Amino acid sequence: MRKDFLSYNPPSIGEAERSAVLETLQTPWVSTGPKTKAFEAELQAYLQAPAVVALNSCTAGLHVALLALGVGPGDEVIVPAMTFCATANVVEHVGARPVLVDVCPDSLTLSPEAVEAAITPRTKVLLPVHYAGHPVQLDELDSLAARHGLVILEDAAHAIATRYKGRLVGSRSNLTAFSFYATKNLTTVEGGCLTGDPSLVEKARIIGHHGMNRDAWKRFDRSGSWYYEVVLPGFKYNMTDVQAAIGLVQLQRLPSFQQRRREVVGRYEQAFRNLGALELPVELPWAESSWHLYVVRLRKEALRIDRNAFIEELKARNIGTSVHYLPVHMHPFYRDRYGYRPEDCPVAADAFDRMLSLPLHPGLCDEDVDDIVEAVTEVVHHHRR
Task: Note the pLDDT tens digit of each residue in 118-177.
Answer: 999 999 999 999 999 999 999 999 999 999 999 999 999 999 999 999 999 999 999 999
C-alpha distance across the termini of the chain, in Å = 23
Average pLDDT, the chain: 96
- What does the alpha-carbon distance between residue 202 and residue 208 come to, in Å, rounded to a whole number? 10
CA–CA dist 252, 205 (Å, integer): 25
The one-letter amino acid at 263 = E
Judge contact between 359 and 368, C-beta under 8 A.
Answer: yes
Average pLDDT over residues 252-277: 97
Split at pLDDT 50, 70, 90, the class of 221 is: low
Q: What percent of the chain has pLDDT over 70?
A: 97
Q: What burial class does residue 42 get, using C-beta atoms within 10 Å of its C-beta: 0-12 exposed, 13-18 middle, 19+ buried?
A: middle
Per-residue model confidence (pLDDT) at position 286: 98
The confidence band for 252, taking pLDDT boundaries of 50, 70 and 90, is very high
Digit-coded pLDDT (tens) for 348-380 = 999 999 999 999 999 999 999 999 999 999 999
Is the pLDDT assigned to residue 273 strictly greater than 70?
Answer: yes
- Give Cα 272 to chain centroid, integer Å: 25
What distance in Å separates the CA atoms of residue 53 and residue 345, rounded to the nearest whole number?
A: 34
Beta bridge partners of 100: 79
User: What is the pLDDT, as a whole number, of residue 222?
Assistant: 58
> What confidence score (pLDDT) does residue 231 get?
86
- Cite the beta strand spans of 153-289 per DSSP E: 154-156, 163-164, 167-168, 176-179, 192-195, 278-279, 287-288
Q: Which residue has the higher pLDDT, 277 or 223?
A: 277
Q: What is the pLDDT of residue 172?
A: 98
Catalytic residue among 37, 124, 165, 184: 184
184 is catalytic: yes
DSSP state of 330: G
**pTM score, two decimals?**
0.96
Query: So what's the pLDDT on residue 227?
Result: 76
Supply the pLDDT for residue 229: 84
pLDDT over 80 (residue 84): yes
- pLDDT higher than threshold 70 for residue 216: no
Hey, is 362 helix, strand or coil? coil
pLDDT, mean of residues 32-36: 94
Name the strand (E) or helix (H) holding 208: none
Residue 219 has pLDDT above 70, yes or no: no
What topology does CATH give the domain 254-382?
Aspartate Aminotransferase, domain 1 (3.90.1150)
pLDDT at 212: 86
Amino acid, res. 143:
S
What pLDDT shows up at residue 217?
54
Q: What residue spans define the domains of the chain?
A: 15-251, 254-382
CATH classification (class only), 15-251: alpha beta
Label residue 153 exposed, middle or buried (CB < 10 Å: 0-12, 13-18, 19+): buried
For the chain, helix, strand, coil in percent to 5 are: 45, 15, 40
pLDDT band at residue 98 under the 50/70/90 scheme: very high
pLDDT tens for residues 293-345?
999 999 999 999 999 999 999 999 999 999 999 999 999 999 999 999 999 99
Taking residues 83-104, what's their average pLDDT?
A: 98
User: pLDDT at residue 182 above 90?
Assistant: yes
Q: How many helices (H) and strands (E) does the chain have?
A: 12, 14
With beta carbons less than 8 A apart as the criterion, state whether 343 and 349 touch: yes
What is the rounded CA–CA span in Å between residue 139 and residue 156? 16
β-strands 123-126, 76-80 pairing: parallel
